Structure 1
Amino acid sequence: MQKRWFIMESRRRGRHSNKRRMSKGKKIFIAVFTILLISAISTGAYAFYILSLMKHTNINKPTTDNGITNVPVEDAKKINKNITNYALFGLDRRGTEASRSDTIMVLSLDKENKKIKLTSLMRDMYVDIPGHNKNKLNAAYAFGGPGLAINTINNDFKLDIQYYATVDFKGLQMLINKLGGVDINVKQGEIQYLNSYLDELNKIDKSNVASHITKAGMQHLNGKQAVAYMRIRYYGRADYERTERQRTVLTQLFNKVKQAGPLKLPGIMTSILPYVETNLSSTNIMGLGASAIGYSSAIEQYRLPVDGTYTSPSIKGVGDVLQPDMNKNVDLLYKFIYGTDANVSK
């Protein structure tokens, strides 16, 4: 099986709008945290038990997990007292390999204007990683866990993140199964790639082996089959078509979640929260859930690097990367989150 690792990926990228590229992975987090926050409000005190199912971590001191030394998160001066930034990571664990942050986002909560903003950071951006050579952004999580990933984001993009949440993609499988699977129109050319990813997932998790897809057309996929479908990258328009597959699956999940009703939400949460890791306490999360009631339902979205502000070179030992103009991207990020240029913090 060909290894797909952060230093070996070499997919060509074209220019797509920020809004289009922003879609990758964001719905996973919106789905998970919509479920989490609604349930926190609707289940009252019982929510504290449900939230205890998450892995709560302390990233203020070095720890070792799965052979990786987790770097402590460094203190960062608050940029704006009314705006809090959180790091969101989607992990694609594969056997004993170090966990890659397949999806990286910054969630910004503006309590003064009651706005929620979500910025997607493309994982192939070529950035400075503290204590390491320059590499792809998603390498930081594998090198030093969420602490180093946060430090890298804060260092390169001049942010003040102190809190994070991570979702293992195994949790997405569980969510899909809990919601009864999804109906997908599988193309003939996608089948071999889907089954290849499925073999990999079955090898990692032998307790519930999913069967191969043998024909094209509309069919019902379980969680493992759907995640394998979402991972297809080497067919069609590479990563861009991959995001379309993700949107197809996740749109169905959203509709199913909305139809589930408050009585079923706690059961859904108990199935997925064991795959969520955070350094937020249950009390913090309950507070976020309560305050979110007054926020605008429209989530403002952004993506870095912005089109026209990066090149796509191939770096020896790393592969194809996105090399951003950091000054331009930091200024644009500040305008999106804070409504001002970044030079206020330089």
Structure 2
Amino acid sequence: MGDRNTAEAEATGLDEAAEREEGAGGAGPVASDPVVDARDPSTDVSQEGVDTAGISPAQPRRGRNRTRRVLLGALALLAVGVLMVAGCAWWAFDHYTGKVDRISGVFPTKVPAAAQPAPSAGGQTFLLVGVDSRSALPTTGRDAKAPEWKYGAQRSDTMMLVHLPADHSGAYVVSLPRDAWVDIPGHGKAKLNAAFSWGGPPLLIDTVQRLTKVRVDHLAVIDWDGFKKLTDSVGGVDLVVDGADRHMNGTQALVYVRERYHLARGDFDRTHRQQYFLRTLLAKVMRPSTFSNPVKATEVLDDLTAAVSVDDRLGDGDLRALLWDNKEVRPGDIVFMNAPAKGTGMISGQSVVLLDSVAGPQLWRAMREDALDGYLQSHDTDRLGATTP
């Protein structure tokens, strides 16, 4: 009998040990779960420790813990990814603004106080210049091999006043005819594009400021070599010409924007062509697909920053702030127009554009007052339409 009781006791001890080991699940204790002692008569392991499916109550809690850990891990990875993208974007932002070429000494000096325009009421105004250089080498941008200006060697083939309003709602681009007959300080009456040829950026800015009484805050210059490279870097542009769709590479686009002799309105249609091209190019550069391919994005940004030169008052921080403040502006938010003109004429054997001495000052006043939106609602303007010649 003693041996039998001893055997039963040993068997019971083995069973209890097995139950304790099984209750541990082979994975160590769970801090939030109480330890169940099978020898405690107050605990009924068969009813409380095991459900009808044979799953320990600790297992669902462990499953929830694992799910929580997975979600937290995923959120952490997402946060790291966002920071990496933001870091890369900021690096590109910082890197490429620092690569833009700066031109020193572009603003006029020794200008009489009476000829100095007052600061505008709001926003900023840029003078955008396309240079027709007579050089086989680039004259603007990071890869310039020739000077951006040399007396008599270059003329400003394209001139646009670009006003960015203080509310960052869009942009207003006003083309100044290259053949506009104007007063050029120290030279008398002549075509506007002669100012750059005779005195480079300072004389051109002085001439434009005296003409419009609008202060030029910054200057941006691109020559035709940079124009062609930038056009080719985005794969060319698609334009509607005389009702037909045309795809143009850099060389073809340059011919398109410079044509004027076979256009019905001559220089006025020519400036609209330039505006139409610029709007189309901006729309293509700003497409999400342009930057979805890192290699392509790098090529476009390299060509863009390599083609353009700006004044040295526009520092890297200023350029970054400019881009950030106007990040919501799209090509559809930009209004293109020609400066008011009465028509064309012949002076001293030259075909010239005669600016409107009444409508012009009204436009320039609206630009100075940062009130171009109201001006457009109450005045007729020669605005860029859906298509151009």
Report the equivalent of 2:291. Answer: 261
The aligned runs of 1:120-269 (5 Å cut-off) are 120-182=175-237, 221-235=248-262, 237=264, 238-239=266-267, 242=270, 253-254=281-282, 256-257=284-285, 258=287, 259-261=289-291, 263=294, 264-269=296-301
1:303 corresponds in structure 2 to 338
Alpha-carbon offset, residue 224 of structure 1: 2.2
- What CA distance in whole angstroms lies between the structure 1 residues aligned with 2:207 and 2:122? 23
1:51-62 pair list within 5 angstroms: 51-59=97-105
Shift of 1:300: 3.2
Q: How does 1:40-119 map to 2 (within 5 A)?
A: 43-59=89-105, 72=109, 76=116, 78-95=118-135, 98-112=153-167, 114-119=169-174
The number of residues matched between the two structures is: 260
Identify which of 334, 346, 352 aligns with 1:321.
352
What 5-or-longer segments of structure 1 have no aligned partner?
1-39, 62-70, 188-216, 341-346
Partner letter of residue 135 of structure 2?
A: G
Which has more radius of gyration? Answer: 2
The match for 1:292 among 326, 329, 332 is: 326
User: Kindly tell me: are residues 311 and 81 of structure 1, through their superposed partners in 2, closer, same or farther at Cα, counting changes over 3 Å?
Assistant: closer
Distance 2:238 2:168 in 1: 39
- Alignment partner, residue 304 of structure 2: 272
Say if 1:157 and 1:77 are closer, same or farther in 2 by CA, change over 3 A: closer
Tell me which residue corresponds to 1:211.
none
**Aligned with 1:89: secondary structure?**
strand
* Higher relative contact order, structure no. (Cα contacts within 8 Å, ≥ 6 residues apart): 1
Separation in 1 of the partners of 2:167 and 2:273?
36
| Separation of aligned partners in 1, 2:117 and 2:365 | 15
Q: Shift of residue 45 of structure 1?
A: 2.9
**Retained in 1: the 8 A contact 2:168–2:325?**
no
* Secondary structure class of the residue paired with 1:266: helix
**Alignment-mate amino acid for residue 84 of structure 1:** Q
- SS of the aligned residue for 2:230 comes to helix
CA separation in 1, counterparts of 2:221 and 2:94?
Answer: 19
Distance in 1 (CA, whole Å) between partners of 2:268 and 2:356 is 22
User: 2:177 touches 2:268 (CA, 8 Å); kept in 1?
Assistant: no
The structure-2 alpha-carbon separation of the partners of 1:140 and 1:43, relative to structure 1 and needing over 3 Å to count, comes to farther
AA in 2 matched with 1:333: W
C-alpha distance in 1, partners of 2:159/2:352? 16
Of 327, 343, 366, which aligns to 1:335?
A: 366
> 1:59, 1:72 within 8 Å by CA — same for their partners in 2?
no
Preserved contact between residue 99 and residue 305 of structure 2 (Cα < 8 Å): yes
- Following the alignment from structure 1 to structure 2, what is the Cα–Cα distance between the partners of residues 282 and 177? 26
After superposition, the Cα gap between the structure-2 partners of 1:98 and 1:311, relative to the gap in structure 1 and judged at 3 Å, is same
TM-score (norm 2): 0.56
Report how far residue 52 of structure 1 moved. Answer: 3.3
- Contact 1:179-1:256 at 8 Å conserved across structures: yes
Shift of 1:164: 0.8
1:181-207 superposed Cα distances (whole Å, 9 cap, x missing partner):
3567999xxxxxxxxxxxxxxxxxxxx
Cα distance change, pair 156–56 in 1 and its aligned pair in 2 (3 A): same
Could you tell me how far 1:283 is from its partner in structure 2? 1.5
Identity %: 28
1:260-294 superposed Cα distances (whole Å, 9 cap, x missing partner): 12533332121232221111222111010111135
- 1:224/1:160 CA distance change after superposition, 3 Å: same
What is the identity, as a one-letter code, of the residue corresponding to 2:260? R
Three-state SS of the structure 2 residue aligned to 1:43 is helix
Give the whole-Å Cα distance in 2 for the aligned partners of 1:323 and 1:129: 15
TM-score of the aligned structures, taking structure 1 as reference length = 0.63
CA spacing shift, 1:78–1:219, aligned 2, 3 Å: closer
For 1:126, give the aligned amino acid: W
SS in structure 1 opposite 2:226? Answer: helix
Are the counterparts in 1 of residues 222 and 307 from structure 2 also a CA contact under 8 Å? yes
